[in-house]
Amino acid sequence: MQSTPSPLPPVSGVHSLYFCPLRPRPLALGAATLKTIVLCLALQYLCPMGVQALSPKPQVHSSKANPSLLSSKANPSLLKMTKQVLPDWSPTGQPKRQGNAASRNSPDFSETGQPGSHGGGAARNLQSCPLVDIPLTVLAPVTANYGGHTTQATPSLWVYVPFALNANNPVTFSLLDNNYNPLYDSFQVIDHGPGILKFSLPDEVVLEPEQVYRWFFMVHCDDPLGIRTPLMVEGWVRRVADPLPESENDNLLLPEQRIERSNQYANRLVWYDALNLLGEGLLEQPDNPQLIPCLDELLGYPSVQLQELSSVPLRDCCVLQEHQDALN
């Protein structure tokens, strides 16, 4: 008989800001890829409204949420606009008191935002891609410029893809260091339906501690060879020391233990670990009445602003392949 995992030990020294209630509820980057990234960034800066009108649901991907793809340090007018868009940060690092109790007590992920980050975590529609209400979106806090911390050397990344991926719609994934030096590149065909997709980095991709990495996810709509301008989103990730006692095996955690540990990571602003604990639990138990509302709460935090994705199904997609392997 399989043994029941022991309860998580308490973690001292940090006040629990918020805890989701358990309530029931029905390595070489090709020159062509680098040029594509630069071209996409330039096009989004020169034409802020994109080729088509923005989606009618602006809170996830409005032009204000993505002020520019240039550093505010080099653009004084952009800096002024960015200050108007991002929420105020209190000197104590506590969330600004506004709204209901959940809003007042939820973690403020904007504190982890990277200065000068482009924040292109929600893509605008291209004529070659299907017209959708919610765009291609990185699952990371909007106020942190679509990125966050992880304790994992090889983390999983989550992206909302609003249409099917197939041989006609291949994808490119690129990982760069904080100075945009290329580290890893993947071009591959994925046969998968729409939803929130979990992408796993291969074991040979190891993030160094306390380093910031930028990553790009691109969909080549109606472009099997990937030669035209793709639909692109950008995120960032930083590996940090694990603030919690090591778990024997996260895969053996009960739902309530996953929720407790996820909240502990969220209250320490370790976004990717908080998301992975809930997301991987729901991949195993898609209808779990404890995990579903907690993921909804996490996505709906005022500093996250991804509440529109709370009802979207999660799917375990694939391991990202290195470019030359994918082309064989």
142 band by pLDDT with thresholds 50, 70 and 90: very high
Give me the pLDDT at residue 56, please.
35
Answer whether residue 19 is part of any domain: no
Report how far Cα 252 is from the mean position of its chain's Cα atoms: 24
Answer whether residue 134 is part of any domain: yes
Which domain does 63 fall in, by range? 31-327
Residues 258-307: tens digit of each pLDDT: 999 999 999 999 999 999 999 999 999 999 999 999 999 999 999 999 99
Answer whether residue 81 is part of any domain: yes
Residues 151-181: tens digit of each pLDDT: 999 999 999 999 999 999 999 999 999 888 9
Within 8 A by CB and 6+ apart from 211, the residues are 177, 178, 238, 239
Answer whether residue 40 is part of any domain: yes
Q: What is the DSSP string of 135-160?
A: --EESS-GGGTSEEEES-SS-EEEEE
Answer whether residue 26 is part of any domain: no
Answer whether residue 23 is part of any domain: no
Residues 217-263: tens digit of each pLDDT: 999 999 999 999 999 999 999 999 999 988 766 678 899 999 999 99
Within 8 A by CB and 6+ apart from 166, the residues are 189, 190, 191, 192
Other Cβ atoms less than 10 A from the Cβ of 105: the count is: 16
Answer whether residue 316 is part of any domain: yes
